[in-house]
A and B are shown apart, each in its own frame.
Chain A
Amino acid sequence: AQKITQTQPGMFVQEKEAVTLDCTYDTSDQSYGLFWYKQPSSGEMIFLIYQGSYDEQNATEGRYSLNFQKARKSANLVISASQLGDSAMYFCAARTGNQFYFGTGTSLTVIP
């Protein structure tokens, strides 16, 4: 099984600033995918961004980017120009084969 570690239980960021949410993973597989999900207070799980283990460039989706450092086994989420609507729980996940493994999440609060 994979272990996904999110060491920041809670983070605060000023509106319009950038923030980095940390994620490390532990796998011996060569082929894997890394994902970030957002869970607002309403409870749904929203897929944000993914990175494949063979991708050489960092993934980007709008204001989200994934800082992938394969040798360090880290997959940090960077949110640029934070908005009040970014306040939510964020979960990092990894996929090997048909199995997905999740971290315990980081609660992000955007301060006006």
Chain B
Amino acid sequence: NAGVTQTPKFQVLKTGQSMTLQCAQDMNHNSMYWYRQDPGMGLRLIYYSASEGTTDKGEVPNGYNVSRLNKREFSLRLESAAPSQTSVYFCASSEMTGFVSPLHFGNGTRLTVT
């Protein structure tokens, strides 16, 4: 039972390079999320997708794009990486219905932009 799978686990980019973080879940969840975690700031929502075919901006969407490829997969793209995007990125999923359904997280991607 894999749950939420993120790739890659680590990545180093130079300023201006692009990359895509991949995320897939096998729990048949409708909602998927991308968060970034920075020291002292908790988790901040970048984008989320309430269901297949929809995406919405979160608290810190600038510099990112997302694609909900199908119900299982939700990717995050950095078109032109900046040092301010150095962070740990988490993908997560949840049942759409029921406010007591928790987030299930992937193991995170540690991204460094030099």
On A, residues with C-beta under 8 Å from B are 1, 4, 31-33, 35, 37, 43-45, 47, 50-53, 91, 93, 95-100, 102-105
Contact = CB atoms under 8 A, between A and B. Distances in A.
A111 B107 CA distance: 27
- Interface size grouping (class) on chain B: 20 to 34
Contact of B99 (A32, A103, A104, A105): A32
A99 B57 CA distance: 11
Nearest to B90: A45
7 contacts: A33-B99, A44-B108, A45-B103, A50-B100, A51-B100, A100-B103, A102-B35
Interface string B18-49: 00000000000001010100001111110010
A52 B99 contact: yes
A30 to B, nearest CB: 10
B103 A93 contact: yes
B42 A33 contact: no
B60 interface: no
A50 B50 CA distance: 21
B71 interface: no
Given A98-B31, A104-B42, A35 B99 contact: no
A100 B40 contact: no
Contacts of A100: 33, 45, 94, 103
Contacts of A95: 99-101
B105 interface: yes
Contacts of B50: 98
Nearest to B41: A104
B104 interface: yes
A9 to B, nearest CB: 8
A91 B43 contact: yes
